[in-house]
């Protein structure tokens, strides 16, 4: 196995070929904010929270899908990165309706935690306030699209771990939605095994167990099946 | 509460003038009073307008039923607990479950704690300045700081009683405002031994403060005989919840209605059938829906709710000391006092009763039972929940689809029940105290004080005291300024 040496925030570090910047940073105890990434699932670089600066590259790079290279100089914290990350979080908030005070995930929400960590305490962008539906047709679970950040963890866990592939993404851009079985109501899904993994990995209150009141949506977010992880599996 | 009101009073008739009190201060929410005077400066009418539109009956459509208590709590920062209790009870109905006995008792405790803290706010923080310093005292002094300067113990007791209630709410519910602990099917967590002991330890001091406040109020009452007689004494029905044994109820019980003479008009009414007995009217000049007792029609069926009405409908409170005070109150004022001024005393008696009841309920070790929640899916598509909020009877009525998403909501809120009674109080107080040709701020303060007796909750959190300027302008029908009184 070849090893690449490079600098992370000025410190010399080493990573195996195929490892991502995020993986090496995590091993080194350097914290990089993430949202769509979840250990044990493939990475898709969707949310852009984990962007880092790499010397010589014109744009910030998503750490979760950028493999380490020999001699690269990576910066994980800077004023500019903080601002970009805060902007990403602000845009996620204004795009849909995230009202923490009445949310089942209040107090156990990764979007809320990111806002706190990144100092996003108000919005300067106008809220879009879309009217989105809730699919509560499943016997045990419901999905509130108002709170979905399109991280696609549910899509990946259902496909890669449960093997059911109930979830997909339909539509493009602002109209993109997570859908069950090509738009079939969840309760009528022929593929869903009701395992609940999608609910457990959801970073917000978009997917939740029915019957939970506000703030009662604490989830089990341990990494899935770590033995499935292998170096290089982080990128698709 | 989503009456199709608009924010305009009818135009004055020819030759009439109008005095506008905007905003009304030291109440919870935003409102305006319009006083109409004739060409000779005599008052011909007065109206109370709620100028805020909240729209909660619409906001929650499409939301999952289990969110309802938390959404409804946001109606108000003063009495969120009553909304949470009524909302959770409506959800209990939809799930067709009976919450476990410990949960029922704990819901009672948190609702009583809110009655105590809210009543303390109303009496000590908002109304005691008028009673201690006088209605004509400088407006800048008529606040809790003025009270603290003149009678420090009175202000301290008010703050202590409010803290007593708020601390219980925080202990049980996890936070002082909008606690999410009362949930469909029961409560979120059982009561811990240490928490119970901490609450019980605070009871004696709170009782002492409640006794001092009531004793002091009774000493002041003689100074206000003119206000007692002029704050809307029209005999009316009273409505409230009572237990089977005739004691006052706050979180359960059935509806009872008595008339101005104390005769029982209706009794044992299942509150879930409220819509068969209570009519609702939207009015053009206020966002407040008004209600009336259907069997008597409008306006004969006008009624009051809240502390005065609760003491009128109940045979007794159910705790010995508070019942003694109730007996003295009735001996002095009659079996069913009609002047809204007596809301103050009723409120103080209820504080005494509430603290005692909290102590009695928590003395029973059964409240520590860890089984505090019943779970179920949607088993009915409709549910009504009722509770006595500090200001009066509160109904939450929901319809949901088979998946538990809310399809229709009706809320009947204490201040709505009292709406027309408040109008009459304002009109009577204005007719007695306001003279347009020699307008003083103290005159208008009496009109506001008539409203404060009801402690209306205009669906909102508190004002910052002392920061709301009040300007009263008297203009003729052509809009020419005749007189002006300003509050610093």
Least confident span in A4-13, A184-193, B417-426: B417-426
Question: Residues B319, B391, B398, A148: what is their CA dihedral angle, to the nearest 10 degrees?
Answer: -110
Please tell me the distance from the alpha carbon of residue B174 to that of residue B481, in angstroms, as a whole number.
52
- pLDDT tens for each residue of A63-106: 999 999 999 999 999 999 999 999 999 999 999 999 999 999 99
Is residue B337 within 8 Å of residue B328, measured between CB atoms? no
Arithmetic mean of pLDDT, B10-24: 67
Is residue B241 within 8 Å of residue B271, measured between CB atoms? yes
- 8 Å CB contact of A142 and B180: no
- pLDDT tens for each residue of B193-226: 999 999 999 999 999 999 999 999 999 999 999 8
Residue B12: the pLDDT is 58
- Region of A119 please: left (phi>0), alpha (psi -120 to 50) or beta: left
Contacts of A66 (CB under 8 A, 6+ apart): A20, A21, A52, A54
Residue A1: the pLDDT is 67
Q: How confident is the model at residue A221 (pLDDT cuts 50, 70, 90)?
A: low
Least confident span in A199-213, B57-71, B408-422: B408-422
Contacts of B249 (CB under 8 A, 6+ apart): B240, B241, B242, B243, B388
Of A144, A211, A213, nearest to B70 by CB-CB distance is A213
Residue A220: the pLDDT is 67
- pLDDT tens for each residue of A196-212: 999 999 999 999 999 99
Residue B166: the pLDDT is 96
- 8 Å CB contact of B405 and A134: yes
| Alpha-carbon torsion (A161, A165, A166, A170), positive or negative | positive
Please tell me the distance from the alpha carbon of residue A120 to that of residue A116, in angstroms, as a whole number.
6
Of A106, A137, A142, nearest to B64 by CB-CB distance is A142
Q: Please check the confidence at residue B486 and state whether its pLDDT lies above 60.
A: no
Q: Please check the confidence at residue B459 and state whether its pLDDT lies above 50.
A: no
Q: How far is CA B137 from CA B25, B211, B441, in A?
A: 15, 26, 10
Arithmetic mean of pLDDT, A30-47: 94
Please tell me the distance from the alpha carbon of residue A123 to that of residue A127, in angstroms, as a whole number.
8
Arithmetic mean of pLDDT, B301-328: 97
Residue B468: the pLDDT is 35
Helices (H), B242-319: 274-277, 307-313
CA distance A169 to chain B (A): 23
Q: How many residues would you count in chain B? A: 488
Strands B237-242 and B303-304: parallel
In chain A, the percentage of residues whose pLDDT exceeds 90 is: 87
To which H or E segment does residue B385 belong? strand B382-389
Residue B414: the pLDDT is 84
- 8 Å CB contact of B66 and A104: yes
Residue B370: the pLDDT is 97
Report A:207-236 residues touching B (Cβ under 8 A). Answer: 210-216
ipTM associated with this complex: 0.86
Of A136, A213, A215, nearest to B184 by CB-CB distance is A213
- pLDDT tens for each residue of B83-107: 999 999 999 999 999 999 999 999 9
| Alpha-carbon torsion (A151, A153, A158, A159), positive or negative | positive
Computed over every residue of chain B, the mean pLDDT equals 87
Least confident span in A58-67, B301-310, B440-449: B440-449
CA distance B178 to chain A (A): 9
Cβ-based neighbour number of residue B244 at 10 Å = 9
Is residue B191 within 8 Å of residue B168, measured between CB atoms? no
In chain B, the percentage of residues whose pLDDT exceeds 90 is: 61
Is residue B56 within 8 Å of residue B460, measured between CB atoms? no
Q: Sheet containing B237-242: which strands, arranged edge to edge? A: B264-269, B254-258, B237-242, B303-304
pTM, two decimals, is: 0.88
Considering only residues A161 and B177, tell me which one the structure prediction assigns the higher pLDDT. A161
Distance of CA B473 to the CA centre of its chain: 29
- DSSP class of B262: S
- Region of B455 please: left (phi>0), alpha (psi -120 to 50) or beta: left
Q: Please check the confidence at residue B115 and state whether its pLDDT lies above 90.
A: yes
All domains in chain A, ordered by first residue? 3-77 (3.10.20.740), 101-224 (3.30.70.20)
Q: How confident is the model at residue B52 (pLDDT cuts 50, 70, 90)?
A: low
Q: Can you name the residues that pair with B43 across neighbouring β-strands?
A: B37
Is residue B313 within 8 Å of residue B329, measured between CB atoms? no
Q: Can you name the residues that pair with B395 across neighbouring β-strands?
A: B386, B412
- pLDDT tens for each residue of B443-454: 778 888 888 888
Residue A227: the pLDDT is 46
Question: Within chain B, how many helices (H) and strands (E) appear?
Answer: 16, 16
C-beta pairs of A51-54 under 8 Å, 24+ apart in sequence: A51/A81, A51/A84, A51/A85, A52/A21, A52/A76, A52/A81, A53/A78, A53/A80, A53/A81, A54/A21
Considering only residues A162 and B33, tell me which one the structure prediction assigns the higher pLDDT. A162
The residues spanned by each domain of chain B are 17-53+418-487
Phi, psi at residue B411, to the nearest 5°?
Answer: -120, 130
Answer whether A97 touches B (CB < 8 Å). Answer: no
Residue B480: the pLDDT is 63
To which H or E segment does residue B59 belong? helix B56-59
Distance of CA B380 to the CA centre of its chain: 31
CA distance B371 to chain A (A): 17
In chain B, the percentage of residues whose pLDDT exceeds 70 is: 86
Please tell me the distance from the alpha carbon of residue B41 to that of residue B198, in angstroms, as a whole number.
58
CA distance A131 to chain B (A): 10
Is residue B484 within 8 Å of residue B473, measured between CB atoms? yes
Nearest Cα neighbor of A159 from A119, A191, A132 is A191
Q: Please check the confidence at residue B470 and state whether its pLDDT lies above 70.
A: no
Q: Which residue of chain B is at minimal alpha-carbon distance from A213?
A: B66
Q: How far is CA B453 from CA B249, B344, B345, in A?
A: 21, 6, 10
Residue B43: the pLDDT is 79
Residues of chain A found within 8 Å of residue B404, distances taken between Cβ atoms = 136, 210
CA distance B165 to chain A (A): 22
Of A102, A136, A210, nearest to B70 by CB-CB distance is A102
């Amino acid at each position: 196995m070849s090893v690449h040496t490079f600098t992370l925030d000025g410190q010399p570090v080493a990573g195996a070929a195929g490892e991502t910047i995020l993986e090496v940073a995590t091993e080194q105890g350097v914290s990089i904010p993430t949202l769509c990434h979840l250990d044990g699932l493939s990475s898709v670089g969707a949310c852009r929270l984990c962007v880092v600066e790499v010397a010589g590259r014109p744009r910030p790079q998503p750490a979760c899908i950028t493999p380490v290279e020999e001699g690269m100089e990576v910066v994980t914290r800077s004023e500019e990165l903080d601002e970009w990350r805060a902007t990403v979080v602000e845009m996620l908030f204004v795009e849909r309706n995230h009202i923490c005070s009445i949310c089942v995930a209040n107090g156990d929400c990764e979007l809320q935690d990111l806002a706190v960590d990144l100092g996003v305490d108000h919005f300067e962008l106008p809220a879009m306030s879309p009217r989105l539906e809730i699919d509560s047709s499943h016997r045990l679970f419901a999905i509130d699209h108002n709170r979905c950040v399109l991280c696609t963890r549910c899509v990946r866990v259902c496909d890669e771990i449960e093997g059911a592939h109930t979830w997909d993404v339909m539509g493009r851009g602002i109209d993109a939605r997570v859908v069950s079985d090509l738009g079939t109501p969840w309760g009528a899904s022929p593929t869903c095994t009701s395992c609940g993994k999608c609910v457990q990995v959801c970073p917000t209150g978009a997917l939740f167990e029915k019957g939970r009141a506000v703030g009662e949506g604490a989830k089990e977010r341990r990494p899935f099946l770590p033995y499935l992880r292998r170096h290089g599996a982080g990128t698709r | 509460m989503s009456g199709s009101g608009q924010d305009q009073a009818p135009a004055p008739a020819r030759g009439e003038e109008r005095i506008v009190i905007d905003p009304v201060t030291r109440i919870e929410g935003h409102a305006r009073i319009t006083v109409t005077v004739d060409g000779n400066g005599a008052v011909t009418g007065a109206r109370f307008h709620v100028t805020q539109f909240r729209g909660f009956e619409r906001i929650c459509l499409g939301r999952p039923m289990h969110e309802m208590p938390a959404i409804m709590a946001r109606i108000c920062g003063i009495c969120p607990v009553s909304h949470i209790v009524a909302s959770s009870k409506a959800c209990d109905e939809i799930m067709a479950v009976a919450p476990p006995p410990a949960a029922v008792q704990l819901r009672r405790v948190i609702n009583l704690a809110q009655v105590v803290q809210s009543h303390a706010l109303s009496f000590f923080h908002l109304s005691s300045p008028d009673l201690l310093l006088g209605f004509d005292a400088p407006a800048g002094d008529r606040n809790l700081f003025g009270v603290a300067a003149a009678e420090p113990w009175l202000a301290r007791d008010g703050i202590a009683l409010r803290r007593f209630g708020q601390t219980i709410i925080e202990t049980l519910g996890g936070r002082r405002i909008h606690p999410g602990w009362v949930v469909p099917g029961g409560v979120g967590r059982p009561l811990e031994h240490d928490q119970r002991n901490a609450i019980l330890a605070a009871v004696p001091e709170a009782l002492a403060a409640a006794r001092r406040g009531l004793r002091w109020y009774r000493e002041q009452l003689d100074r206000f005989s003119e206000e007692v007689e002029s704050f809307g004494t029209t005999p009316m029905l009273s409505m409230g919840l009572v237990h089977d044994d005739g004691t006052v109820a706050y979180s359960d019980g059935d509806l009872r209605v008595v008339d101005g003479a104390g005769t029982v008009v209706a009794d044992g009414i299942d509150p879930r059938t409220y819509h068969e007995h209570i009519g609702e009217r939207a009015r053009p000049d206020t966002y407040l829906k008004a209600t009336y007792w259907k069997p008597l029609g409008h306006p004969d069926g006008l009624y009051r709710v809240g502390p005065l009405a609760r003491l009128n409908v109940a045979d007794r409170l159910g705790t010995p000391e508070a019942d003694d005070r109730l007996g003295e109150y009735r001996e002095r004022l009659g079996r069913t006092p009609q002047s809204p001024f007596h809301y103050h005393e009723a409120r103080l008696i209820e504080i005494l009763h509430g603290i005692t009841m909290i102590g009695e309920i928590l003395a029973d070790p059964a409240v520590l039972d860890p089984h505090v929640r019943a779970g179920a899916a949607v088993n009915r598509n409709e549910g009504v929940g009722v509770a006595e909020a500090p200001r009066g009877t509160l109904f939450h009525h929901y319809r949901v689809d088979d998946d538990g998403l809310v399809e229709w909501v009706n809320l009947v809120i204490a201040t709505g029940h009292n709406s027309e009674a408040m109008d009459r109080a304002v009109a009577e107080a204005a007719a007695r105290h306001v003279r347009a040709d020699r307008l003083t701020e103290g005159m208008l303060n009496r009109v506001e004080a008539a409203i404060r007796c009801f402690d209306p909750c205009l669906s909102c959190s508190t004002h910052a005291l002392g920061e709301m300027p009040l300007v009263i302008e008297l203009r003729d029908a052509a809009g020419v300024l005749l007189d002006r009184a300003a509050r610093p």
